[in-house]
């Protein structure tokens, strides 16, 4: 089977764009990715679109209405916070299978503000605040408390994740925020769901990102100078675990995806130069250091204390600013992660460049659950 390459990839600066439509936002990123690849929409043989909140609204076709209706097949994907990564993976599979030589994946979301999850539904009376809480800040607070229970991880250690990622975002002009948030500021911010304060929750923003993928034959023909090789693409759902009916298990499906991804890529976590992982809440990032094998079980607290995951550390994590500060437009996030890692592998990340980056990993997890892991490799 052919290797698959990213030839073009880009994202808009994340922000709040209520005056624009979802297809308009998606179209912007699609055109940017095509420009980055030096290609036109007429060169694309299929489009894979990731969008969650308008999953029934044919967003991919409407993106084409904005940039050129060429009659190509369009697949619209919805997979919670793994939506963008799922669209990217569908594109990867089509190339891998030899069906097409050039395709585009677009991820886009318009978010609005406020709490996610816990809306209830079902019959009878609302359960939120009566049978505990299903809000996302609480779900991930409880997941973090499981780590505290096992290893003594502290509120301060969780908060340090947010300090780090906000610091990283000051170096990323495409992040929603570019502000430093010192530890006291993070810990003293409004408590949302202990131990997650407001600054430890990802930012709801609007955004879009897109990637042009190519077969090896096509990539060689067009030039590999800035190409990035997709070494692994893995998607998992959540295997049964004892508590997962009341406590979504983000660990098991991540571990399963990571294991398969390292096998497929033929490398181990120690060979990674950088990681963009799903820091939807500061607590989550700590869990995923261990889930992705960046450290041994129980060592994640020490890892953040020692700055090992900061830019300049042993394995920089979320140098983009992460979901905590770059922002988290659900359907765009997975492809925005691919953009970040690709930019480092190309040596084009400016002030936040991870030196000599060769392999990078992206990770997203959507509750329900879906986990996607991609491993990318520098080519030239």
Partner 1 sequence: MAEQGAAKGPLPVVDFLKIPDRGEPYLEGHRCQKCKAVFLGRREACSKCGTRGALEAVRLSNKGELYVYSIVHRSFPGIEVPYVSAVVDLEGGGTVKGNLIGIDPDPAKIKMGMPIEVIYKKAPRKDAEGNEYLTYYFQPRS
Among 11, 192, 228, 274, binds partner 1 (CB under 8 A): 192
Among 113, 124, 225, 356, binds partner 1 (CB under 8 A): 124
> If you ran DSSP here, which 8-state letter would residue 196 be given?
E
Q: Is there binding between residue 135 and partner 1 (CB under 8 A)? A: yes
Q: Is there binding between residue 204 and partner 1 (CB under 8 A)? A: no
For the chain, report the end-to-end CA distance as a whole number of angstroms: 21
Q: How far is the CB of 347 from partner 1 (least distance, A)?
A: 42
Among 2, 148, 170, 178, binds partner 1 (CB under 8 A): 148
Nearest-Å Rg of the Cα atoms of the chain is 19
- Region of 2-10, 25-33, 116-124, 268-276 interacting with partner 1 (CB under 8 A): 116-124
- The answer to whether the beta carbons of residues 335 and 107 sit under 8 Å apart is yes
Q: Which is nearer to partner 1, 76 or 135 (CB)?
A: 135
Among 142, 285, 290, 340, binds partner 1 (CB under 8 A): 142
- The answer to whether the beta carbons of residues 328 and 204 sit under 8 Å apart is yes
Q: Which is nearer to partner 1, 196 or 337 (CB)?
A: 196
Please state, in angstroms and rounded to a whole number, the distance separating the CA atoms of residues 247 and 133.
Answer: 11
Q: How far is the CB of 175 from partner 1 (least distance, A)?
A: 24
Q: Is residue 328 annotated as a catalytic residue, yes or no? A: yes
Q: Is there binding between residue 138 and partner 1 (CB under 8 A)? A: yes
- The answer to whether the beta carbons of residues 87 and 235 sit under 8 Å apart is no
Write out the two tokens for 349. 């990340």
Q: Is there binding between residue 270 and partner 1 (CB under 8 A)? A: no
Q: Is there binding between residue 113 and partner 1 (CB under 8 A)? A: no
- The answer to whether the beta carbons of residues 144 and 283 sit under 8 Å apart is yes
Please state, in angstroms and rounded to a whole number, the distance separating the CA atoms of residues 359 and 151.
Answer: 30
Catalytic residue among 166, 328, 344, 363: 328
What part of residues 161-190 is at the interface with partner 1 (CB under 8 A)?
Answer: 190
How many beta carbons lie within 10 A of that of residue 239, not counting itself? 12
- Ramachandran region, residue 351 (left: φ > 0; alpha: ψ -120 to 50; beta: rest): alpha
Q: Is there binding between residue 129 and partner 1 (CB under 8 A)? A: yes
Residue 189 CB burial class (10 angstroms; 0-12, 13-18, ≥19) = middle
- Ramachandran region, residue 307 (left: φ > 0; alpha: ψ -120 to 50; beta: rest): left
Q: Which is nearer to partner 1, 3 or 142 (CB)?
A: 142
Please state, in angstroms and rounded to a whole number, the distance separating the CA atoms of residues 373 and 380.
Answer: 23
Count of residues in contact with partner 1, rule CB under 8 A: 37
Mask for 227-266, x = binds partner 1 (CB under 8 A):
-------------x-xx-xxx-------------------
- The answer to whether the beta carbons of residues 101 and 95 sit under 8 Å apart is yes
Please state, in angstroms and rounded to a whole number, the distance separating the CA atoms of residues 281 and 360.
Answer: 21
- The answer to whether the beta carbons of residues 333 and 325 sit under 8 Å apart is no
| Three-state secondary structure call for residue 244 | coil
Q: Is there binding between residue 112 and partner 1 (CB under 8 A)? A: no
Q: Is there binding between residue 141 and partner 1 (CB under 8 A)? A: yes
- Region of 13-21, 51-59, 121-129, 179-187 interacting with partner 1 (CB under 8 A): 121-129
- Region of 41-49, 79-87, 135-143, 250-258 interacting with partner 1 (CB under 8 A): 135-143
Residues that bind partner 1 (CB under 8 A): 115, 118-119, 124-133, 135, 137-138, 141-143, 145-146, 148-149, 155, 190-196, 240, 242-243, 245-247
- Give the catalytic positions in this structure: 81, 328
């Amino acid at each position: 089977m052919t290797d698959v390459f990213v030839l073009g990839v880009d994202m808009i600066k994340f922000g709040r764009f209520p005056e624009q439509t979802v297809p308009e936002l998606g179209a912007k990123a699609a055109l940017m990715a095509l420009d980055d690849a030096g290609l036109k929409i007429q060169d694309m043989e299929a489009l894979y679109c990731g969008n969650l909140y308008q999953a029934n609204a044919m967003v991919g076709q409407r993106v084409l209405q904005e940039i050129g209706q060429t009659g190509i097949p369009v697949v619209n994907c919805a997979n919670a916070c793994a939506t963008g990564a799922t669209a990217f993976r569908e594109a990867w599979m089509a190339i891998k299978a030899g069906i097409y030589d050039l395709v585009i994946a677009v991820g886009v979301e318009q978010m609005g503000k406020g709490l996610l999850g816990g809306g209830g539904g079902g019959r009878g009376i609302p359960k939120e605040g009566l049978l505990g809480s299903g809000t996302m800040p609480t779900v991930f607070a409880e997941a973090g408390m499981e780590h505290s229970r096992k290893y003594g991880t502290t509120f301060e250690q969780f908060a340090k994740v947010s300090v780090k990622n906000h610091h990283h975002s000051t170096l990323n002009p495409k992040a929603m925020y570019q502000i430093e948030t010192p530890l006291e500021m993070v810990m003293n911010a409004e408590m949302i769901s202990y131990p997650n304060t407001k600054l430890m929750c990802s930012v709801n923003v609007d955004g879009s990102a897109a990637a042009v993928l190519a077969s090896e034959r096509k990539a060689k023909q067009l030039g590999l100078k800035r190409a990035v090789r997709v070494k692994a693409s893995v998607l998992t759902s959540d295997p049964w675990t004892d508590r997962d009916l009341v406590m979504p298990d983000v660990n098991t499906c991540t571990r399963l995806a990571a294991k398969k991804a390292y096998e497929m890529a033929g490398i181990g976590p120690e060979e990674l130069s950088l990681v963009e992982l799903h820091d939807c809440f500061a607590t989550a990032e700590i869990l995923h250091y261990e889930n992705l094998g960046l450290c041994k079980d129980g060592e994640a607290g020490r890892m953040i204390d020692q700055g090992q995951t900061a830019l300049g550390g042993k394995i920089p994590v979320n140098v983009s600013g992460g979901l905590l500060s770059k922002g988290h437009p659900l359907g765009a996030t997975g492809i925005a992660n691919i953009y970040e890692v690709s930019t480092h592998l190309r040596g084009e990340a400016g002030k936040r460049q991870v030196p000599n980056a060769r392999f990078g990993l992206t990770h997203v997890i959507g509750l329900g659950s879906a986990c996607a892991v991609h491993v990318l490799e520098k080519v030239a």
